[in-house]
Every structure is written in C-alpha cells, then in structure tokens.
Structure 1
Amino acid sequence: MVPKKNSRADLSRNSVIYFQIGLIIVLSISYAGLEWNFEHKQNYDLQQVEFTAENSIDVPVTELKQLPPPPPPPPAPEIIEVVQDNLEIKETEIKSTETSQDEKIEVAEVADIRDEEITEEIEDVPFVAIANVPLYPGCENEKDNEAKKKCMSKKIEDFVQREFRTEIGSELGLTGINKIYVVFRINEKGMVSNIQARGPHKALEAEAERVIKLLPPMIPGRQRNHPVGVIYTLPIIFDVKVAI
C-alpha cells in the first residue's frame, strides 16, 4: 500500500510565510532589546564609618537672677498703756552738773602723782639680727658685734665637738654623714632653754639636746638696750666612717 500525501499537510508550501513571520519576530525582539533602558545601580560600600566625638563639655552659662526684695515686715502693734489717775509715778530727777563758786575743789599734790614705768616687751630675736649678741665666756673683749658673733659661734662649735659622744654612731650602726639640726633659746638671763633637735635617729636628737643643756651661762643679748631672748640655730654634722 502506497501512502498518499495530503496537500494540506505539505509544509514546504508555506515555508516563505513562516520565514517572514520568524524574521519579523526576531527583528522585533532585537529592536526591543536595543531600545530597552537598563538602570545601572551603583555599588555602595556598606561599611560603617565611625567618628570619634571630641570630649567637649558645654559649660552652662550661669545666670544671676535678681530676686525681688523681701516684703516689708508688718508694722509692730502700738502698745498703749493706760495709767490710772490714782497711780503714783516716780519722776527721774536730773541733777545739774554745774558747780558754784562756794564748792571746794580738791587739788592733789604733786608728790601724790606717781609715774608708772611702762615695760616694753620685745619678742625673741634671731641670732643673725640681734643688735648686741649674747656673750659666751671668753668673748667679752672682742672689738665689735660681728667679731663677738664669730667668737660665740666658734666657742659653741668647739664645745659640742668636745662633749658629743662620737661612739654613739657605732652603737646605732650608722654610716656616712648624719645631720642634726638644733634650735635653742638664750633667754633674758643668759640661760639656754627651749631646745629642739631634729635628726635621722632619736638617739642622736637626745644626745644633741644633752650637749646643748651643758652650755655655760652667758651674758644675755640686748635689743634697744633691753635684754631679750635670742634664737640660735646650730646644725651638727655627724660623720660616721667605717674602718677598712
């Protein structure tokens, strides 16, 4: 049996039409593609940037407000005292201060008036500023005040070097240079008082006070021709050398 072809089933007959339709579709798509607008979005950096704020303090402005004046105090009530007619009132008698020629005036005699001596109190004076320095025994014959100062300082230094117990350094286990500052007062009678010592060890302070108490009596210093207390400062340098 030979198959027969149907004229309607022949596809080659309409190939030109199909080609034209396909070409039209392709051209339409190409045209639409060329005319199409594409939005280009920028790529943003999503990293966060941190700003360090400056440490600044806003100082508020101080405003002075003027307060209204306080209200005036209420008036005090007037107290009216009613005095009875039969009440006796004592009147104050004012005596006259005028004198008459008949009155006698007592006059004190000159011998009865006594002059009281006013003692001038002068505070303690430092040794470097005293007008007339205290006189250590043996310094009386120096010619002027400056020479007497030097003589007194030399006498006190020699006395301390002679009386100070140098073996106290080895007893305490001290080494090197040790400074002791002593301040004392030479009172109006020439006696030593108010001794104060400061040093690296309590035993050194006690030894310095013991030596200063042994100073002999002196002729007191004078300021404006009056005996006064004199403040004397004495630094003591105690050098402990270790034998090799």
Structure 2
Amino acid sequence: MEIKKNPKSNLENFSKIFMQIGLVLALFITYAVIEQKTYDKTYGELAVADMRSEMEEDIPIVMQQPEPPKQKPPPPPPTPEKIEIVEDDKEIEETVMETTETDETEAVVVDEIVEISEAEEVIEDVSFMIIEDVPVFPGCEGNKDELKACFSEKVQRHFSRKFDAQLPNELGLSPGKKRVFISFKIDKTGKIVDVQTRAPHPKIKSEVISVMQQLPTMKPGRQRGKPVGVKYSIPFTLIVE
C-alpha cells in the first residue's frame, strides 16, 4: 500500500509567505526605531548668585579735621631812633696780607734731608750641625748630608797626615790613649780662624793649632742666604806607646 502525502501538510508551500512576513516585520521594526524621538533631560533651575553684593566694599568715612588757625607773623623790630652817619674822610685801617709766592730770583732754603740707613741684620756664628748651607771643603760634592760627611772626613785625613805622630812618645807621656779636643771657625770668607784645643801637653796643643791652621780655604756657610761664621769641633785620639 503506497502512503500518499497530504499536500496541505507540506511546509515548503508556505516558505515564501513566511519569508515575506519576516521581511516586512524587520522593515517595520527598523522604521520604528529610526522614527523614534528622543528628548534631552532637563534639570531644575539653578539659583542665580548675586556677586554684586560681595564686590561692594565698605568705604570708611574719614572725618576731615579743621585746619588750625594761622598764626600771625611777629611784628617787625622797631626802627632805631638815631642813625649814625659815618664821615667819608675817616681813615680805615687795612690789613696787609703777605703773599706766599716766591720770586724766581729768590733762593729757596730747603731743610737738609738726612737719609736713615736701615740697620743691617747681623747674624751670629752658627753651629755646623744646624747651619742651612754647610761650608764646603774643596773637592766635596753632593747634598747637605753628603757635604757634612765629606767635610768631617777631609778634616780627619788632614790631621792624620799633618800631625807629628811621634811627638807624644818623645814627650814621655804615659802609654795609652790620649784625647784631644779641637774647635775652630770657618769665617765669612771661608778661612779657618779661632782654633782652640785641649791636649795633654802644651807642645801637643801648639802642634794641633799649627796643623789646623793649614786647612785650605773653603766655601763659607750660609744662613738665610747670607754668608756667616760656622763653628766646628771634632775630637781626636792619640795613642802613646
């Protein structure tokens, strides 16, 4: 048996109608939305502020004081009763002012100007140990310490070479070591002066002085840039057999 389909139950026959109805509804909704009117929200009226009252300033009222009454000027002095008349022929003493200008022919006396020379600073003799620039023994070179060491070495060598080593034995001194103390000064010109000594015998003392006076002339020491006398002392030991 063949099943037959009812033509009314076929929905495809109404599809075109449904599509047209849907399209009409969509257009109607779109038109309604476009034609819908909107209104701005309104707010209550704001109170109007009156600023004029605040800008008005209270101007103080100043009472003007009355001007004080003007004082009357003092009356003029009374005129003298008598008027003294001075005669024209009366002699008047004139004061003569002496001029201070000088004539070219007059000699001008000028007080003699006395020049005061500044006293030259005198520097006393300085010890060899504290002198700024030590005396220089001929042949010595180097810095300050090296010049000091060279000076002492040269003096000792000079004494050992010049002193008569046999003199203590000839004088009959007791055997042993004898100390001799020597001091002298290198003056501003570099010469040896003021030789002094302490020795165990007068002849040894004379020999020592003679030997030290034979030292060569040296370059003088300087203190604050000026040549000064420099004191030097050294001990020696003599061996008596």
Q: Report the TM-score range of the alignment, normalised by the length of the smaller protein.
A: 0.5 to 0.7
* Alpha-carbon offset, residue 118 of structure 1: 4.1
**TM-score when normalising by structure 1:** 0.52
- The Cα of 1:159 is off from its aligned counterpart by 0.6
Structure 2: distance between partners of 1:101 and 1:123 = 58
| Identity between Structure 1 and Structure 2 (%) | 36
Match in the other structure for 2:53: none
Q: For residues 230 and 103 of structure 1, do their structure 2 counterparts lie closer, same or farther at Cα, with a shift above 3 Å needed?
A: farther
**Are 1:237 and 2:234 counterparts?**
no
Deviations 1:126-159 (A, max 9, x none): 11111101100001x31x1111111101111111
User: Larger C-alpha radius of gyration, 1 or 2?
Assistant: 2
CA 1:159 to 1:113, structure 2 compared with 1: closer, same or farther past 3 Å?
Answer: same
- SS of residue in 2 equivalent to 1:165: coil
Cα separation, partners in 2 of 1:147 and 1:106, compared to 1, 3 Å: farther
User: 1:192-237: per-residue Cα shift (whole Å, max 9, x none)?
Assistant: 0111111111111111101101000000000000000001102111
Give the alignment of 1:179-194 within 5 angstroms: 179-194=179-194
Q: Give the C-alpha shift of residue 115 in structure 1.
A: 8.1
Is 1:156 aligned to residue 155 of structure 2? Answer: yes
Give, as a single letter, the amino acid of the residue that structure 2 aligns with 1:157: Q
Matches within 5 A, 1:93-242: 102=100, 116=117, 118-139=119-140, 141-142=141-142, 144-174=143-173, 175-241=175-241
Residue-pair matches, total: 138
CA shift for structure 1 position 169: 1.4
Deviations 1:142-187 (A, max 9, x none): 1x11111111011111110111100101101122111111111110
> Hey, which bits of structure 1, 4+ residues long, moved more than 3 A?
103-108, 112-118
Q: Distance in 1 between matches of 2:146 and 2:202?
A: 35
- What letter corresponds to residue 205 of structure 2 in structure 1? E
What is the TM-score normalised by the length of structure 2?
A: 0.52
1:116 Cα shift?
A: 4.0
1:119 Cα shift? 2.1
Q: For structure 1, which runs of at least 5 residues remain unmatched after alignment?
A: 1-99
Structure 2: 5+ residue runs without aligned partners?
A: 1-97, 103-107
Opposite residue 165 of structure 1, the aligned amino acid is: D
